[in-house]
Amino acid sequence: MVGACIAVFLLAVFYEGMKIARECLLRKSQVNIRYNSMPVPGPNGVMLIETHKTVGHSPLFFRQQMLSLPHIFQTLLHVVQVVVSYFLMLIFMTYNGYLCIAVAVGAGTGYFLFSWKKAVVVDITEHCH
C-alpha cells in the first residue's frame, strides 16, 4: 500500500508538471501578434493613437499550422494528460483514504513546484479540477 501511495503521489506531481509544460510549449509555438499604432485626427484637432493588431499570415498558413510538428506534439501531450487525469480520477473514486490523500498531496506538491511558471490565472482547458 505504501508503494501504491508513492506511485500515485508521483503520478499526481507528474500531471501538474505536464500541465505547466504544455502551457510553456504552447506559449513558445504561438504566432506572434504585432500591434500597430497610427495617429488619427480626433475631436477639436487633437491627435489620437489608434491601435490594432495584425497577424500577417494568410488562411493557408493556418491550414499548414494544423499539420505542423509542434501541433502534433501538443496533441500527443494532450492525450497523455487526459489519460493521466482520468487515472487519477479513477484512483480517487476507489474511496481508499490513503490513495485519496496521495492524489491530493501529490497535486498540491506538483502545483507548488510548477505553478510559479504559470502564465494564466484561469485555465479554461483544465479537465480535472
The model's pLDDT over 116-125, given as tens digits with 9 standing for 90+, comes to 866 555 555 5
What pLDDT does 3 receive?
97
Burial call 30-52: b when 16+ CB within 10 Å, e when fewer = eeeeeeeeeeeeeeeeeeeeeee
Indicate if the pLDDT at residue 90 is higher than 90.
yes
Residues of the chain with pLDDT > 90: what percent?
46
Average pLDDT over residues 84-105: 97
Helices (H), the chain: 2-29, 59-66, 69-92, 97-114
Residues of the chain with pLDDT > 70: what percent?
64
Closest CA to 81 of 1, 6, 15, 12: 15
pTM: predicted TM-score of the whole model, two decimal places:
0.67
What pLDDT does 115 receive?
87
